Amino acid sequence: VLLPLRAFLAVVYLDGGISKIADSRFLDPSSPASMHATVVAVRHSSPIGGLLGPVQDHSVGFGLMMAIAEAAVGLGLLFGLFTRIAAAGGMALALSLWLTVSWHAAPWFTSADVVYLLALTPLLIAGTGGVLSADGWLATVRERHPSGTDDRTRRVLLAGGAAVLGALLIGGASLFRRPTSSSAAGRGGVPQTSAPGENGQNLTETAKVPVGGAVEVTDPVTGNQAWVLQLTAGHFTALDAACPHQGCPVSFVSPQDGFTCPCHGSQFDASGHVLRGPATRDLSTIPVTVSGGDVRRS
């Protein structure tokens, strides 16, 4: 009964861990798709935001730990080894992701993380039931040879084998790491947070928006984060930074690469059109006019 669920969750967690290692942007704090960018983006809106300071300061170490933990949970579920411990670890990871990156999912039950959290409970309560699992095999051996090799020794050997396999998978993934895409640095697109519009409807000053780049501002009307862009000289546009998927603030990458959402990887072109989900809608446009050296909401 539990086998399909166990197989699915094993693949989900293995894929999560390995893809984090294989994507060099994840551990590159300067990348808008990194663990660091995700923590910065969600910290102010997470109910555990106050606890995320050390994670932000040591995002590479925490990111690596998270990737390895996800891969270990996946291997534990796949082989049915220390299944309950693997399920508990997977639930802790899902809970932490729910409280951070998908806390604002609407409706709340559409968050994948809360589904993983609950989907692991049968494996925490019942284990594998002995089906196609190292835990079940160990129990059989123990019954047949109660005085044989110490059960703990067998478990340690199996866990060591799984760890070696995990290390090989992670090492293999790191060989195929996606190169870090060149960021906006040097191309006039480095996000620069400007002060909120000081004069009522002002978003920012034209001089603060580089040609071919963007600045992050606070929309004085909604209080949301927004981006003011000058893709070609003298032509200003503005977009609400809230990702239409679950509301994380998107990051500007470059005029060519547009925007990326650090929470679940949605991508948008520089005009805000969605290129890749899970978001299914475009970024909201903010109408602007240019007046006396200011970019103003119109």
Q: How far is the CB of 259 from ligand FES (least distance, A)?
A: 10
Site for ligand FES contains 263 (CB under 6 A)? yes
Burial class (CB in 10 A: 0-12, 13-18, 19+), 64: middle
With CB under 6 A as the contact rule, which of the stretches 8-16, 63-71, 138-146, 256-264 interacts with ligand FES? Answer: 256-264
Site for ligand FES contains 133 (CB under 6 A)? no
Q: How far is the CB of 248 from ligand FES (least distance, A)?
A: 4
Specify the residue, 80 or 249, whose C-beta has the smaller distance to ligand FES: 249
Specify the residue, 15 or 57, whose C-beta has the smaller distance to ligand FES: 15
Specify the residue, 102 or 237, whose C-beta has the smaller distance to ligand FES: 102
Site for ligand FES contains 226 (CB under 6 A)? no
Burial class (CB in 10 A: 0-12, 13-18, 19+), 207: exposed
The answer for residues whose C-beta is within 8 angstroms of residue 157's C-beta and 6 or more apart is none
Of 183, 194, 237, 266, which one interacts with ligand FES (CB under 6 A)?
Answer: 266
Q: How far is the CB of 215 from ligand FES (least distance, A)?
A: 21
Specify the residue, 236 or 259, whose C-beta has the smaller distance to ligand FES: 259
Of 86, 117, 162, 261, which one interacts with ligand FES (CB under 6 A)?
Answer: 261
Of 78, 279, 283, 286, which one interacts with ligand FES (CB under 6 A)?
Answer: 279
Site for ligand FES contains 40 (CB under 6 A)? no
Residues 232-251: x/- map of binding to ligand FES (CB under 6 A)?
Answer: -----------x-xxxx---
Of 264, 271, 281, 284, which one interacts with ligand FES (CB under 6 A)?
Answer: 264
Specify the residue, 102 or 202, whose C-beta has the smaller distance to ligand FES: 102
Site for ligand FES contains 278 (CB under 6 A)? yes
Task: Report the interface residues with ligand FES, using CB under 6 A.
Answer: 243, 245-248, 261, 263-264, 266, 278-279
